[in-house]
Amino acid sequence: MREGRDGVRILVYSHDSFGLGHLRRCREIAHALVEADSDLSVLILSGSPIIGSFDFQNRVDFVRIPGVIKLRDGDYVSLKLPLDVEQTLALRASIIKHTADIFDPDLLLVDKEPLGLRGEVAPTLELLRARGVPCVLGLRDVMDDPELLASEWARKNALPALERYYDDIWVYGLPQICDPLEGLSVPAGVRKRVSYTGYLRRAISEHAPEVQLEKISEPYVLVTVGGGGDGEQIVDWVLRAYESDPRIPHPALIVLGPFMGSELQSDFLRRVNRLDKVEAITFSAHLESLMARAVGVVGMGGYNTFCEVLSFDKRAIIVPRQEPRREQLMRATRAQELGLLRMLDDQGRRDPQAMATALRNLPQQSKPSERVVPGLLDGRKSVVRLARHRVAQGRHRPLSAAQLS
């Protein structure tokens, strides 16, 4: 902490504009940090268009940078503004750097992308490096298929960025489950900076409103597809199962997600209205409370869903997304091998009987707690410990112009 001011300041950067994964992970980390230290504050930089829908604890705030969205061909476009993508990225980079300059953090935590979206964090990393501010890269437990990740990171010059800018790399998982850097030619010096934290335990917010069920009653199966932008197949598959098999023992509560297209939502809601044992809502900022009340979960297997399944000890059927990244498939495969969940994949056929059978068998599955994995949910306390240690070491000696060149 710098002399002459009160409290520790941590700046968190989350590049994502579409989906909920990065935002929810960063928010969870921010809350863990401020809960552990009463003199610490966190500012989150995010491009999420719905960040304002979430509640944040005292001493946690956010700066919303202009959003972008990734097209199917890999290009980006501005989400809302009538600007080309280069102008939008330049605006984002300027806001990020200016915020870091004024906020003057004691620690920068970057989520997933070492240089940010298309390198937008590089100027900020240079600024903070010159000031001696420690920088940390946070990685989820699985990134992608090693060959695909190696190609992507080579294109983005990610490995040189790890060497140049980052003091630590925190992996929010365990090495016996997944190594996100597997298959990469990571220098030994960078490998020494890696710490595995365990998964981030989730809890129910004391401010979470009670969702009133209108058609079904507990216990129900929670069907969650994250942001919903790519959750069409799971929702359709579950609906097909309930449409074809009245013997499924428990009703289903489907959360469609805020990024699901309006036409898809309308179509699914029409189908739901015809089923006595299925209810749907479009979005909940307090998914944890819904999951805690569920008898089991059907989901895509993203990082946050996996953490919630473990935290609330829920039997789960995971239907992993396999494109454009294989992250969910890799996580689900390994978790199934460990007996933590069941993976269901019918190669896109969406056979209603296959899902119906899985739903009927769900109450007989093992709970995650029946498999002992040491340190599995230590993520929150590990992040707090690592942050305290890094901040306590203070800033590096500021670099000279010659050293920076």
Domain ranges of the chain: 8-201+377-404, 221-370
* CATH architecture label of 221-370: 3-Layer(aba) Sandwich (3.40)
Instruction: Take residue 367 and report the two structure tokens written for it.
Output: 């709970």
For 390, the 3-state DSSP assignment is helix
Instruction: Take residue 89 and report the two structure tokens written for it.
Output: 């990225």
Tokens 């929670």 — which residue?
222
For 39, the 3-state DSSP assignment is coil
**Residue 398, pLDDT score:** 63
**Residue 348, pLDDT score:** 80
Global confidence as pTM:
0.92
**Residue 402, pLDDT score:** 52
**Residue 28, pLDDT score:** 96
Q: What is the DSSP letter of 250?
A: S
The answer to whether residues 31 and 15 touch, using CB atoms and an 8 Å cutoff, is no
C-beta atoms surrounding 151 within 10 Å: 12
pLDDT, tens digit, for every residue of 325-383? 899 999 999 999 999 999 998 788 899 999 999 999 999 999 999 999 999 999 999 99
> Distance between CA atoms of 225 and 261, rounded to whole angstroms?
13
**Residue 229, pLDDT score:** 81
Domains 8-201+377-404 and 221-370 share a fold: yes
H or E stretch covering 159:
helix 158-165
Burial class, 405, CB count within 10 angstroms (exposed 0-12 / middle 13-18 / buried 19+): exposed
> Distance between CA atoms of 398 and 173, rounded to whole angstroms?
33
Could you say which residues of the chain have pLDDT below 50? 404-405
Contacts 24+ apart (CB under 8 A), 54-61: 54/23, 54/24, 54/27, 54/285, 55/205, 55/207, 55/285, 56/27, 56/30, 56/31, 57/30, 57/31, 58/34, 59/34, 60/27, 60/30, 60/31, 60/34
> Distance between CA atoms of 395 and 324, rounded to whole angstroms?
39
- Looking at the DSSP bridge assignments, the partners of residue 360 are none
For 215, the 3-state DSSP assignment is coil
> Distance between CA atoms of 212 and 145, rounded to whole angstroms?
41
Q: List helix spans (H) across 274-373.
A: 287-292, 303-311, 327-337, 352-361
The answer to whether residues 359 and 221 touch, using CB atoms and an 8 Å cutoff, is yes
What CATH number labels 8-201+377-404? 3.40.50.2000
